Structures are given as C-alpha cells and as structure tokens.
Amino acid sequence: MNRTYTWTIEGGRVLGPAPFFIAGIVNVTPDSFYDGGKNYDHQNAIANGRMLAEKGADILDVGGESTRPFSESVSIEDELSRVIPVIKELSKDYIISVDTVKSQVASEAIEAGASIINDVSAFSFDPALLEIVADKKPGYVLMHSQGSPEKMQLSPQYDDVMENLLSFFKKSLDKLLKAGLPKENIVIDPGIGFGKTVGHNLEILRNIDQLMDLGFPVYMGLSNKSLWGKLLGLESDERQNATQAATAVLAARGVPIHRVHEVELTCQTLKVVKAITEGR
C-alpha cells in the first residue's frame, strides 16, 4: 500500500506525512452517549484529552454541542463557555479540532488555539462559517448530513445515496475552493449516521472508493455509532469490536483519518493494517 497523507491546518502547518491520523473525541457536553457527560467538567475534559493524546491521538476533537440524533442545539454562549477553556489548555501541547457549526465559535476557537474546524453542517446552518474558514484557513472537515440533528433520523430517504453524496461534495468543494480555502486544507466526511439508515450507511462504506476518487482524504467517524447497535443488537458500550473491525477494513482500503473514542485500540488496529498492507 505505502500510501501517506498530509493535512494542512491553521497557520500553514502540515500534519504528516503519515499513513493514518487518529482524532480522539473530547465531548464537553452533559449528554454524551459515550461517557455520560463526565467530561462536561473542564478539568475532566482536559485530563481526558491528555490521556487520549498519550495513547496515540494525533488530533483532539473538542465539541460543546451534541450532534447525536434528536439532540437540540445550544446557544453560542453556552457552547463557547464549554469549549474555549478546554481548547486554550490543550492547544498548548496538542493539535486541536473544534466540532462546531457556528461561525463565532469557530472564530473564537481558532483564536484560542484550535487548528481544525470539524463542521457537520457543511456551512449550511451558519453561512458565515464559510467566510471564517476562507479567511483563517484552518484544516476543515467537510461533512455530509441530511437535515439537522433534531430531525435527521426521522425518515432519511435518497434516490441513490452515493449519487447524492458525490453531487453534494462536488458542489460544496467548489464553494470552498472558490472562497479561497486551499485544497490541501480540506478532508471529506461521509457523515455516517447523519440522516442515513443502516442500509444507507453500509452502502456508503461499501463504496468508499468513490469518495476517495474525488481526490481528498476521507475522514471517518463511525466510532460506536448506532449503526452497530442496529446491525448487531449492541448497546452503546458494546460496540468497540464492531468499530475496530470496520476501521480495519476501511483503513486497508485507503481511509486515512479516523475519529474515535477508543484511541489505544484504534492505534493497535491501524498498526496491524499497516503491517499487513505495506509493500503490497
């Protein structure tokens, strides 16, 4: 395989070259499905972020607003109060991504030390976010979703899910590039679980090569998702093995960036993939 990737982030810094990058999830929310809100406390969130970095995370993805299905939006003030203290502290030592759809949060997070904007809305909820990204030139995760988190899983429908994703990415990438964000700053996320049924999600994962053919690194967020619960009858704390199995398959097919809860397990998975596939 012997593929390596780079990702340009805020300030023109370059991550890589590396075959894989791991983004460790730091949810500063009271209702995280994974940790039950224990990292809602700033000091707990900071300690968790440091632990994830020590276990091998290349990026810490800090979020102050839940985007799980049926979650409700929070105010700008609440989101800022959650994430900015955590970003300020963790960015002293680590590469920080902020998971937000709000232009003001993105702007203040970059000022606080964040280098990557992880935007589940593709700048559709707050059009000013496109201006912030074009001006600041952070690393940018362009994600596909159908609808807002409150409604996206009510009845997701597509005539052809892959055709829809490809059309969406081509149009959105064109907007980003015309606005002035360099190609090397952009990665694309198919948005597993964001306005998609189990069948839609599996169709996307089967055809991930079509997204890679767009010429941008794929950023994958499938850690402990409800997809695995519905497919295998697993509770949220029982989905680690399914997550790692899918991660191994996708990494072997060329997906380089993995957003996960269990960083140490993912490091092991990716090392196995690299050992088996390198030189192929």
Residues annotated as part of the active site: 225, 259
Strand partners of residue 59: 23, 95
Say if residues 216 and 187 touch (Cβ distance below 8 Å): yes
d(CA 166, CA 79): 31
- Residues 6 or more apart whose Cβ sits within 8 Å of residue 190: 143, 144, 165, 204, 208, 211, 218, 220
Q: Note the Cα 38 to chain centre separation in Å.
A: 21
Q: Which two tokens stand for residue 245?
A: 């199995």
d(CA 221, CA 194): 10
